[in-house]
Amino acid sequence: MITKIEEPHKKNDILKILHPFVREWFLNKFGEFSLPQLYGVMEIHNRNNILVSAPTGSTKTLTAFLAILNELVTLDVEGKLEDKIYAVYVSPLKALSRDVEVNLTTPLGEINGIAKKYGKKLSIRIGLRTGDTSASERAKMSRKPVHLLVSTPESLALVITSPKFREYMRDIRYCIVDEIHALAENKRGVHLSLSIERLRELTGEDFCRIGLSATVSPLDEIAKYLVGNGNSCKIADVQFVKKMDLKVLSPVKDLINTSYEEQSRETYELIDNLVQEHKTTLIFTNTRAATERVVHHLKEKFPKKYSDNIGAHHGSLSKEKRLDIENKLREGKLKVVVCSTSLELGIDIGYIDLVILLGSPKSVARCLQRIGRSGHKLHETAKGRIIVLDRDDLIECSVMLKSAIEKKIDTIHIPRNCLDVLAQQIYGIAIADMIHYDDLFKLIKRSYCYKGLEKSDFDSVLDYLAGEFTSLEDRHVYAKIWRDKETGMIGRRGKLSRIIYMTNIGTIPDETHVTVKIGEQIIGHIDEGFLERLKSRDVFVLGGERYEFQFARGMVAQVKSSANRPPTIPSWFSEMLPLSYDLGAEIGRFRRLMEEKFLKRRNKKEIIDFIDEYLYVDRNSAEAIYRYFNEMFLYVKEIPNDKKIVIEHYSAYNKKFVVFHTLYGRRVNDVLSRATAYLVGLLGKRDVELGINDNGFYIASENNMQAKRAFDSLKSKDLDKIMEIALEKTEVLRRRFRHCAGRSLMILREYKGRRKRVGRQQVSSMLLISAVRRISNDFSILKEARREVLEDLMDIEHAREIIKKVENGEIKIKEIDTKVPSPFAFNLVLQGYVDVFKVEDRMEFLKRMHQLVLAKIGMTEKLEV
Amino acid sequence: MKISDNIEIIDLCLYLKKEKILVIGDMHIGLEESLQKQGFFIPRFDVNEVIERLKNIFSKAEVKKIILMGDVKHEFGTISGQEWRDTLKVLDFLLERGEIILIKGNHDTILGPISHKRNLEIKDYYKINDTLFVHGDKIVNEKSKIIVIGHEHPAVSFEERRDEKYKCFLLGKFKKSKLIVIPSFNLLTEGSDITKENVLSPYIKDIKNFRVYVVEDEVRDFGFVKDLE
């Protein structure tokens, strides 16, 4: 059962449970309990599972540690502290040493100081075990266990497989998962959920689980994720106690009729003004490229103001550089730091009094998380300014602001039934100990992420691990686990299994940067995901220069200089965050309310008043929003919204475009567009071009397309089947398959002491996918790749919902013809990412190419041998 | 498809009518195993699929002699039992249908024991009438009107779809000789895309002017490499 704690506990009650040393230390150091502590400490002391949700800087980490340190000190003073691990703390952040220092080592040292005063000496040991922990440290820990282990999800999976550590961990009493919201939404979290259940199997009884989370929704789901199936959990919800001061700002009055140069100049002026008015500012830009650009421009435009006091922070920078910036920030040496998304999470970054978001953060939770980085203390007001880049951005951010103020947080997506992670964990379980088939299934089903796991999928993963897809003779090569079908027992196989597990554990695919070259000359690097979207002759920007993509081989992209053509694909695409479905729905609702006003012929003032009241924006922004809608309404007499999909036809450059105004976010549009393109292709028998963004998608072709007919024929019951076929040949499926093959250890990134380059993995995964298909199109790892693409990367569930609503008439379809794209279609056509949907099969394609060649050369000249 | 009076392309093989010779490209038996040793657990390709494909080819031509163009097996290192059995199975199948001439490839450094078992000699090259057969990784000092090589594993792709590769024969010139490059007979891989990758064999110069015959369900003349761009 999941229950919310309604009332905080009383200060005196909590003080009563604290050991005198701990009590003295706490009162000296803090005096008062913070709100999360009032809610949480007593519950943890009573070993109740608890999820504490509170903004950054609200001392939730100490909430968890206080009760645990208290217990350890009590045991220690009573001489009852044994050589075993009492608590394990897991965080997704790799650089944990500072956190440990601040939250554990220092407090413990201070408590020890008090103990000494009373003639006692504490012997509590705390240990850090991450991927960076040295071999000697690890050895020390396995000789003499620490009492509180600080770890990452990957290292936790390692230690619960190590025989020594398993002995030390049999009596674990507490398990803390920090930043649980950031883990639950990806495969790292799925992996962790199974590790925790493995730990539970080891202890034989329940231990206290503590989850610490930032603002996230729904909390019930996160709580269930934390405790697993069937366990109860309490929730301490202090998410919204921090005061927020939020505003959306337009750099210019008119976001459409202002030149790029002017808008850019005004944007930097605005940023500079804001920065100068505050002590320390943190700017989020969404992408690495933009981060570099903003730093560069600020330095260039205001050389006297910005030099050593400005820093860039993003994932492509070296670890040292990032640490350097973080340290300087904490020491107050920086006036402004610009980052992509990298400073969203946890680490203490010192005093920030303003957060600027350049462009939409795409979800309410992320918006709050970022803005929460300012005003670090709980009682301080968090101050955030969102600077919008265009009119779609303006509407999106304004609606987001409304949702943030009205506390409507988007729903988190927790991946389910991931078969690749399952394979890796079963491998680990088998290495650690022999286990019966039934017990294994029960263990896995305890995890919330595997609640709905089908027995048949479980079996197929076991078949894969037992090498049953190959002949008996080859099994010694392929089998990863030992299985006796008679007795149902499962265990380790092969001398190398432990070392393979240790060197290949985890769920994060290898860094995948593609080298861009002209001939042999290296130009720079792009993301693998970006390469995925490039097709021949696409023009993109890298390091300020334009290049035309020619072809890729392995992890090298060959390009040539392209001075004259404009970019066809925005270079930040692969980093682009998708709009959350819930926020999309809110924007759709706003569009509908606006359309009603226009249909009722409300005058300009009335409508602007409505915007003003509904959206919490200033007059300028309200006016800009009005103008945008007015243009759209005057032009096509339709405003697409949450209950109306507008299908717009127009032609340009000898091509026919069909634009679908579906404001459901890119994850949904990815599904809707591919399914529609597939059906259009079936009717027309030719490949079509696709463009997708958060607000809709388009399909383009030189031929006539029966797009409306295709969309009408798209039925929710057929969606799975259609998408399975539609994905079959895509680069994205191949790429995700490589990741899944890595996670399920079908491709080992490290084997017999040799680490493989990603390019090598890529080439081999092509062979692997075709070999696997030969065995079965439902091979567990292939099935998982498909699930990952459809459910995690894309959003097939909400797409299905939309189609159902179209089927039952809740969403109406309107068709319009335009000469030039309507205002709402403009950004989509300009910047949507582009893909080609392949309809023809391999043989048809070859035949067509042959016809083309025949026509081209006339085939007159015969070469004689 | 006939490419001269005497020479015909049958599926992935070349056939010399007068001499009744069937030429088979690099087979790379055991490629999967070599990948396994590097940590890629690619399911083994069933050697029977290779034999089925060969059966179909033999049904289309009368064969006296079979020339294997080298790299029959993949692994440089030790030969595993499975690889040994697979290779023998293919060799025995071929032996029932004609005399085998084995040409040495760069992956065949230790093909010796297997060929020895069937009393087959491995030749650096083989010449009959005006045609020279050589693997193609290095130039042999032997002139001939026609030269046939393997090694390259040629395949092509088209701009619209760079990720779809098709095996092909190449027909061009080496000095004064006609040069025929034959595709690999490995069914797991397509080969290297000559429209975008560098050529490997020193026999191939000026690839733009090579004629392309794509092999898929049938053989198709695609004109010159330069026409594909």
- The DSSP annotation for A550-567 comes to EEEETTEEEEEE-SSSPP
Residue type, position A766, single letter: M
The DSSP element (H or E) to which A184 belongs, if any, is: helix A180-184
Q: CA-CA distance, A361 to A576, in Å (whole number)?
A: 10
ipTM of the complex: 0.88
Residue A218: is the preceding peptide bond cis (ω within 30°)?
yes
CB contact under 8 A, B163 and A845: no
Q: Which residues of B touch A (CB under 8 A)?
A: 3-4, 7, 32-33, 35-45, 82, 146, 158-164, 166, 171, 178, 180, 188-189, 193, 196-197, 211, 214, 216-217, 220-224, 227-228
A342 confidence band (pLDDT: 50, 70, 90): confident
* Average pLDDT of span B205-224: 92
Instruction: Please tell me the predicted confidence (pLDDT) of residue A742.
Output: 92
- CA end-to-end distance (rounded Å), chain A: 82
Least reliable range by pLDDT among A91-105, A615-629, B117-131:
A91-105
Contact between A470 and B196 using a beta-carbon 8 Å cutoff: no
Residue B20 burial (CB count, 10 A): 13
pLDDT at A418: 98
Asked if residue A865 has pLDDT above 50, the reply is no
Nearest to A470 among B4, B43, B162 (CB): B43
What does the pLDDT average to over A356-362? Answer: 92
Q: What pLDDT is attached to residue A349?
A: 77
- Token readout for A361 is 């953060």
pLDDT digits (tens, 9 = 90+) for B85-117: 888 899 999 999 999 999 988 876 667 777 788
**Residue whose structure tokens are 């070999």:** A771
Question: With contacts defined as CB-CB under 8 Å, which chain B residues touch A760?
Answer: 38
Q: Calculate how close chain A gets to B96, using CA atoms only, in Å.
A: 27
Indicate whether A862 pLDDT > 50: no
A:B CB pairs within 8 Å: 114
CA distances for A461 relative to A224, A258, A430, A503, A781, angstroms: 25, 58, 13, 21, 8
Compare all CA atoms of chain A with the CA of B45 and give the residue at the minimum distance: A771
Distance of alpha carbon A754 from alpha carbon B39, whole angstroms: 9
pLDDT at B94: 95
CB B33 within 8 A of CB B82: yes
Averaged pLDDT, B15-42: 89
Minimal Cβ distance to A771: which of B158, B188, B221: B188
With 0-12 CB in 10 A as exposed, 13-18 as middle and 19+ as buried, what is A573? buried
H helix and E strand count, chain B: 4, 15
pLDDT confidence of residue A239: 81
Q: Per DSSP, which regions of A388-538 are E strands? A: 435-436, 481-484, 489-492, 513-518, 521-527
Per-residue confidence band for A378, with pLDDT thresholds at 50, 70 and 90: low
Computed over every residue of chain B, the mean pLDDT equals 89
A771 closest CB neighbour out of B7, B38, B42: B42
pLDDT attached to residue A87: 97
- pLDDT reading at A211 higher than 80: yes
**CA-based nearest distance B196→chain A, Å:** 7
Chain A residues close to B162, C-beta within 8 Å: 535-536, 551-552
Kindly tell me if the per-residue pLDDT of A832 is higher than 80.
Answer: no
Q: Which of B6, B31, B32, B42 to mutate to test the interface with A (most CBs of A within 10 A)?
A: B42
Q: What is the mean pLDDT of residues B119-132?
A: 91
Would you say residue A748 has pLDDT above 50? yes
Tell which residue, A171, A155, A144, A161, has the closest CA to residue A72. Answer: A171
Write down the H helix ranges in A618-665: 619-636
Kindly give, in sequence order, each residue whose CB lies less than 8 Å from that of residue A273, ignoring residues fewer than 6 positions away: none
Question: What is the percent of chain B with per-residue pLDDT over 90, rounded to a whole number?
Answer: 57
Cβ B20 vs Cβ B63: under 8 Å:
yes
Candidates B3, B161, B182, B228, partner chain A, best to mutate (most A CBs within 10 A): B161
A331: exposed, middle or buried (Cβ count in 10 Å: 0-12, 13-18, 19+): exposed
Residue indicated by tokens 């080992």: A748
In this predicted structure, the answer to whether residue B215 has a pLDDT above a threshold of 60 is yes
Rounded to whole angstroms, the Cα distance separating A545 from A527 reads 17
pLDDT at A23 over 90: yes
**Percent of chain B with pLDDT strictly greater than 70:** 97
What is the mean predicted confidence (pLDDT) over A734-751?
A: 89
Q: What gap in Å lies between CA A533 and CA A529, rounded to an integer?
A: 7
Of B39, B178, B196, the CB nearest to A553: B196
Q: Does A148 touch chain B (CB under 8 A)?
A: no
Q: Do A751 and B217 touch (CB under 8 A)?
A: no
Residue A801 is encoded by which pair of tokens? 């919902």
* Phi, psi for residue A502 in degrees, rounded to 5: -65, -35
Residues A632, A759: contact at Cβ < 8 Å?
Answer: no
Contact between B44 and B82 (Cβ < 8 Å): yes
pLDDT tens digit string along A544-568?
Answer: 567 888 877 767 888 888 766 666 6
A731 close contact with B: CB closer than 8 A: yes
**Which residues, listed in sequence order, are joined to residue A177 by a DSSP beta bridge?**
A90, A211
Which residue among A537, A764, A846 sits closest to B42, beta carbon to beta carbon? A764
Alpha carbon of A477: minimum distance to chain B alpha carbons (Å): 8
The CATH number of domain B7-228 is 3.60.21: yes
Residues paired with A545 in a beta bridge: A542
Distance CA A244, CA A378 (A): 11
Q: Do A771 and B82 touch (CB under 8 A)?
A: no
Question: In the beta sheet, which residues pair with residue B10?
Answer: B13
**Closest CB to A551 among B162, B211, B227:** B162
Cβ contact A795:A668 at 8 Å: yes
Higher pLDDT, A228 or A526: A228
Contacts with B, A 547-606, CB within 8 Å: 550-553, 558
| pLDDT tens-digit readout, A142-153 | 899 999 999 999
The pLDDT score that the predictor gives to residue A605 is 95
Q: Which of B44, B171, B211 sits opposite A470 (nearest CB)?
A: B44
Q: How far apart are CA A378 and CA A372, in angstroms?
A: 10
Token output for A466:
């037992």
- pLDDT tens digits along A32-83: 999 999 999 999 999 999 999 988 766 788 899 999 999 999 999 999 999 9
Produce one character per residue of B39-58: b if its CB has 16 or more CB atoms within 10 Å, e if not: bbbbbbbebeebbeebeebb
Strand partners, B192: B154
8-state DSSP, B29: B
Of A45-59, A455-469, A485-499, least confident by mean pLDDT is A45-59
Which chain A residues have a beta carbon less than 8 Å from that of B166?
846
Helix boundaries (H) for A2-102: 11-17, 20-29, 35-45, 60-77, 97-100
Which residue ranges make up each domain of chain B?
7-228
A-chain residues near B189 (CB < 8 A)? 767
Distance CA A813, CA A641 (A): 11
**For testing contact with chain B, the best of A748, A851, A853, A864 (most B CBs within 10 A):** A853
Average pLDDT of the residues in A121-133: 90
- Over 70: is that where the pLDDT of A833 sits? no
State which residue of chain A sits closest to B157, comparing Cα positions: A846
Lowest mean pLDDT among A173-187, A216-230, A591-605, A849-863: A849-863
* Bridge partners for A817 per DSSP: A649
Q: To the nearest whole angstrom, how far is the Cα of A865 from the nearest Cα of chain B?
A: 5
Catalogue the E-assigned strands of A126-276: 126-129, 148-151, 174-177, 208-213, 233-237, 244-249
Distance from CA of A470 to the nearest CA of B (A): 7
Read off the pLDDT of residues A556-609 as tens digits, 9 standing for 90 and up. 888 888 766 666 665 555 557 899 999 999 999 999 999 999 999 999 999 999
For residue B37, the chain A residues in CB contact (below 8 A) are: 752
Would you state the pLDDT for residue A58?
63
Separation between Cα atoms, residue A266 and residue A325, nearest integer Å: 27
**pLDDT tens, B139-191?**
999 999 999 999 999 999 887 777 788 999 999 999 999 999 999 999 888 88
Closest chain A residue to B5 measured between Cα atoms?
Answer: A865
CA-nearest of A316, A313, A315, A354 to A335 is A354
Interface touch B39/A863, C-beta < 8 Å: no
For residues A541 and B177, what is the distance between their CA atoms, to the nearest angstrom? 47
- Output the pLDDT for position A460: 96
Chain B residues inside the 8 Å CB shell of A749:
39
pLDDT band at A863 (very low <50, low <70, confident <90, very high): very low
Instruction: Using pLDDT thresholds of 50, 70 and 90, give the confidence band for residue A533.
Output: low
Flag whether residue A863 sits within 8 Å of chain B, measured between CB atoms.
yes
Of B70, B89, B71, give the one whose Cα is nearest residue B34: B71
Would the CB atoms of A845 and B160 count as touching at under 8 Å? yes
Higher-scoring residue by pLDDT: A199, A351: A199
Q: What is the mean pLDDT of chain A?
A: 88
pLDDT on residue A551: 78
Hey, CA dihedral for A799, A803, A804, A809, is it positive or negative?
positive
Report phi then psi at A762, rounded to 5. -65, -50
pLDDT on residue A529: 67
